[in-house]
Structure 1
Amino acid sequence: MAKKKPVFDPDALVLTKPQILDFCDRVLKKWNKKPTKNANNILAMNAVKTSVIWTDDKSLKAIWSEILNWTFELLYENALAQVKNDGDWSAVMKKLKSKK
């Protein structure tokens, strides 16, 4: 009997708590290079990190799945707004491709 192939769901969080905390630490390391400039960001990221530490895995997956979903939606809406402002979809696509 063939296994059913899992369906890809970009909104479902599959990262572990340690992986999320590692991401937070990498961002903090970057921002700590200019602590005065990034003081508010560092404070906020430490709050995020603390909330990840204290949140149970089931809630963490639910919350971060929503964040991922909102992120994709916001990126799409932001790209549409840029096209509306610039009037040039090809320029927006070129910028998106250069981010790879």
Structure 2
Amino acid sequence: MEKRNRKTSTYSSITTKSKEKGYLKVKKNKFYVTKIGKVLINQLKKYFTNLVDYNFNSHIKKILIKISDNKISWKNVLDVFLKILLNNLNKQKTSRKRRNDK
């Protein structure tokens, strides 16, 4: 029960922030992605594919279990994650720079 509440509160804060930023609207208890929300989703899929993948959450959960069981080093996991993240950020910056140079 406690795990479920934590997950629900996480989703609740994400949806609240998304509504505040204008990425989604709620009508008749249904979520609708706004135009800017669709642009954001497309950009995330384009440059941060591994982070918005549906399996990302379960993959990270398995890694965290291995870390807690001392089967893998959290420092190594963080190093790999940061390398991937920085690579994605650099791709996005390069693409943005090319668009601005045109």
Larger relative CO (CA 8 A, sep 6+): 1 or 2?
Answer: 1
Higher strand share: 2
What TM-score does the superposition give when structure 2 sets the normalisation length?
0.38
What TM-score does the superposition give when structure 1 sets the normalisation length?
0.38
